[in-house]
Structure 1
């Protein structure tokens, strides 16, 4: 996994996600996403639930017990709920000791650095999903996509995916695709409408 400290990258990823979540209008919550099994509300629940999971892991708890949620958040409360969870994540991972300590995440027991890098990939990918769903209201940080794509290529090689892999098979990215589009394609996602 990435040898660098993923905390500054994760922090930037949470800032980007928070800014995008602030743009979500209640009338967009039932709209489609590149995650075909999610509408926007379910995707937001997945983002918040995944963030809560890595917060619990960072606190030394069982993150596998955390499940995504969407039904109990009011239409206009997503910004507040996400801000609370992301603050908790950043606090949970503030100690340098967390980077080397083994933690348990859905893909196994790994050092904290590897776990948090995986959640950068997750968050950045789902931020693209949300941006795509909302019609790209904000410009996304290409450096975050580069970190996420490097991580994705390392931990999710194309020929080793099976039904247990939480991402679909690799799709071909169009020639000249930006890093977010390459990341989306590597994780089996296609834009909602052709470019």
Structure 2
């Protein structure tokens, strides 16, 4: 917990900042996630925040609701839920996975979807290198399971000397060269 909370906090705050900067006229723009425009992506982030907060409280995963425009507030509640030591104990009854794995999944969502949103809306995005390294390490271990579950698309090849962020994006099925 001690080493993950700062990473989760930085990634969450950075993604929340990106969400706050989205203008109304950008909500219909395409994103690197084919099935999402910007509004759908922000709605997905809202659900991600609610789901991981409920999992941290050992509750059933939250259902996705309609777009509310309140991701930053939900994200604060997620971090509060994960800041409790008991959130890190055992296996999630809602997902059947170790709680530490769920925390890593949340971290990957924040980094990857932060990039998606920044790329779609033309915002700068430079996530913390330590956060990217942790997300990449976890994702490389879980990639096949993620693909089988429909969470990741087919891997996108990146050059051997690609940055850790580009490698993370490629593993999750994103093309680091994507532009709107």
Q: After TM superposition, is the score higher than 0.5?
A: yes
Question: What are the superposed Cα offsets for residues 75-131 of structure 1, whole Å, 9 maximum, x if unpaired?
Answer: xxx3xx1221112112212221221232145xx412222211111111211111111
Structure 1 position 66 matched with structure 2 position 63: yes
Structure 1 position 156 matched with structure 2 position 154: no
Residue 138 of structure 1 deviates from its aligned partner by 4.1
Whether the aligned pair in 1 keeps the contact of 2:27 and 2:38 (CA below 8 Å) is yes
Structure 1 pair 120/24, CA: closer, same or farther in 2 (3 Å)? same
Structure 1 position 111 matched with structure 2 position 98: yes
Aligned residues: 179
| Matching residue of 1:193 | 179
Alpha-carbon separation, structure 1, partners of 2:83 and 2:127: 25
Alpha-carbon separation, structure 1, partners of 2:147 and 2:83: 33
Structure 1 position 101 matched with structure 2 position 90: yes
Q: Root-mean-square deviation (CA), in Å?
A: 2.2
Gaps of 5+ in 1: none
TM-score in terms of structure 2 length: 0.88
Is the helix fraction higher in 1 or 2? 2
TM-score in terms of structure 1 length: 0.82
Residue 4 of structure 1 deviates from its aligned partner by 6.8
Gaps of 5+ in 2: none
Whether the aligned pair in 2 keeps the contact of 1:103 and 1:112 (CA below 8 Å) is yes
Is the strand fraction higher in 1 or 2? 1
Alpha-carbon separation, structure 1, partners of 2:65 and 2:154: 23
Whether the aligned pair in 1 keeps the contact of 2:120 and 2:179 (CA below 8 Å) is no
